[in-house]
Amino acid sequence: MNLIVQGLDLLLAEKQEAHRWADESYRYGGSEIAYTESDFGIPQIIALQGKIDGAMVLDEPESEVSA
């Protein structure tokens, strides 16, 4: 599971960097197309990370409380 999480973190970082590059290119006239985060799948990656985090929390055994 950790490899999946790490892979998604790397993918998200790359997609965010690509979006920043495309946004700067558009702002400074290098591109005629304005891209959104959705064009790079960023919201979908974040949603998937949230689902995995939620599943990992549910899979963790509850800590025992000693009296």
CA distance 5 to 14: 14
Is residue 34 classed as helix, strand or coil in its secondary structure? coil
CB 33 within 8 A of CB 21: no
- Whether the full predicted model's pTM is greater than 0.85, yes or no, is no
The DSSP output letter for 36 is: -
Higher pLDDT, 65 or 18: 18
* Residue that the structure tokens 């963790």 belong to: 60
pLDDT digits (tens, 9 = 90+) for 39-64: 999 999 999 999 998 887 766 665 55
